[in-house]
A and B are shown apart, each in its own frame.
Chain A
Amino acid sequence: MDILPQLLINTLITGSIYALASSGLSLSYGLLKILNFAHGQMMTVGVYIFYLLTAEHGISVFAAFPLTMIFTLLLSTIILYVFILPFSRYGIVLPFISTLALATILESLISIFFGVNVKSLSTGSFAESIEIGPTYYITPIQIIIFSSAIVFLIILAFFIHHTKFGRAIRSLSENSYAAASLGISSAKVSLYVFGLSAILATYSGILVGYETNIQPTMGNIYTIKAFAVMILGGLGNIWGTIAASFLLGLIENLSIGIDIGNWSLPVGYKDAFAYFVILLVLLFKPEGLFTRAKRKT
């Protein structure tokens, strides 16, 4: 059986999730110049709130979704004003420490309230495979993942490149002093972008919850993956990040799918292989694969 087409389908699914999870992080890095170590944990909190509403209180998905997003926006505002902005003036190390502390706080709070066991968002008919080729399968949730990622990313592209607000984001991430001197409010734009990044994270968390399962420690993996993708694509370069998301998905799926002689990489090492790729990129091309030269002022 030729396994390659199935691997490519899986690549699109994984890549979509990574793209959604990391595009927000990349946008907020461009603006705040801060690596948010709690990004994956913000994703976890979002999906656990969604779980609480749908699985434990029986609220329908369509009502729970906006409620979760409102909660995410409130949480992201608190995080921005308490854990990030007070530190951003004092160099790069303090925000690392504060977001690392935040990551642990969020993770342990989830463990305390929901327990450490693996949970699953009930999927029902969503998880049944559909045969789309002789031996290739896809589930409805995977179709939703891929198509919604495409829709989200197209909206994001339009938003960034064709609106006034998008222009403010781009100018601030290119040169915050010049932008501020032209009257663009960094504080306001940061707030909106951070909220957007939290919403994208929560949405991708919910997708992960439907696609696989959720547990309190999952955030950490996605934080590192999102960093990996950002480094691969160039820090703060959002389109590079999105391209790198699909590239990382491809690398991960090929790493377990391809046999070398009679030996193939065990599935458990899939993540380790991805991190190894980051180290290689750091070693040979630390500015990222898709970086263009910056404009001088």
Chain B
Amino acid sequence: MGQLDYINHLLILLCIYLILAQSFNFAFGLGGLFNLAHIAAYALGAYCTAILSTDYDKSFFYCLGVSAVIAAFFSLLLGAIAIRLSQEYFAVGTLAFSAIVSSFLINWKSLTHGVLGIPNIPRPVIGQIDFYQNSNFLALLVGLTALIMFLFYLLFYGRFARDLKAQAENPYATMAIGKSVSSIRNDAFIISSVFASIGGSIFSYYLNYIDPSSFTLAEMVFVMSIVVLGKPGSFWGTIWATTFLVLLPEPLRFVQINASILGPMRQLLYAVILFLVVYYKRATIFPQKREV
């Protein structure tokens, strides 16, 4: 792998995780929705795109659109159950949902090829331009990520974000000023899942191959450590934390280390960082509730 390829690879990963982390930050950081099914939405996007583009030869925008719609549909379904519950039940419900999704990824062999995964996912072709070159793909992805980040910027600094923060801090006060807490939560949940599924689509286009092992709880812990390190609810914090954490384990690549423990080492690193951040920042990481 040439040096340029390596830098391209890192930048592409960075873009994918920016989308994934910022969408999680939106629901979790601003809205306090401890959504452990975020990776399930990511997986849905990745698998929809993989299946549509290999078995049905669908185009880039078609795949992205259908993935987003399916993720939105599933989050509506899950939202109907989970949104009304208290935080601990919400966490367990979303955890159960993500376990259902991964069980389907492993067992629905005719559709998802089970643990073998889906190989040979073609890179997108838009009009006359193909994105088989990593540099072309990176250009497309940077444009898309910039667009999504801009949308999130508007969302983070707009009126909806204030509603979302208000319901996280005090749902009763929010209801008292005539806002529907459950519809605010539902909207945030759907927005977050839709962007996660777009991140998943891009992930499967980039790797050309996906299997269920990319969508485990460890990945959820990684996304959570990004958001927690960048301070939950902070737009810019998530951006720098993504950059930092995606690049952090890269030196491990150049150390002589047994390849089989590289994955667990990476997981361990992120989990330890996550723990250290919540340990040292535990008093201030979530805003204290204000008296009404």
Contacts and interface: CB of A to CB of B under 8 A. Distances in A.
Which residue of B80, B88, B267 has the most chain A CB atoms within 10 A of its CB atom?
Answer: B88
A276 B220 CA distance: 21
B103 A271 contact: yes
Contact of A282 (B85, B264, B270): B85
Interface in A80-138: 83, 86-87, 90-94, 96-98, 100-105, 107-109, 111-112, 115-116
A100 B216 CA distance: 13
B268 A109 contact: yes
A interface residue count range (under 10 / 10 to 19 / 20 to 34 / 35 or more): 35 or more
B271 interface: yes
B256 interface: no
A111 B261 contact: yes
B223 to A, nearest CB: 11
A266 B114 CA distance: 14
Contacts of B224: 97, 100
A108 B32 contact: no
A104 B282 contact: no
A286 B91 contact: no
Nearest to B80: A283
Given A35-B91, A98-B279, A268 B103 contact: yes
Contact of A224 (B96, B272, B286): B96
A235 interface: yes
Interface range on chain B: under 10, 10 to 19, 20 to 34, or 35 or more? 35 or more
Contact of A101 (B88, B271, B283, B286): B271
A272 B98 CA distance: 10
B144 to A, nearest CB: 30
A109 B85 CA distance: 34
B264 A108 contact: yes
Contacts of B93: 278-279, 282
Contacts of A100: 217, 220-221, 224, 274
A286 B107 contact: no
A96 B229 CA distance: 16
Contacts of B91: 35, 96
Contacts of A112: 261, 264-265, 268
Contacts of B96: 224, 227-228, 275, 278-279
A275 B271 CA distance: 26
A271 B264 CA distance: 25
A156 B274 CA distance: 36
B275 A279 contact: no
A282 B80 CA distance: 11
A220 interface: yes
A189 B220 CA distance: 33
A276 B77 CA distance: 13
Given A116-B264, A268-B107, A271-B99, 11 more contacts: A35-B92, A94-B282, A96-B88, A97-B278, A98-B275, A100-B221, A111-B261, A112-B264, A220-B217, A272-B99, A276-B100
20 contacts: A35-B88, A96-B88, A98-B279, A100-B221, A101-B278, A104-B270, A105-B272, A112-B265, A112-B268, A268-B103, A268-B106, A269-B107, A271-B103, A272-B103, A272-B107, A275-B103, A279-B81, A282-B82, A282-B93, A283-B81
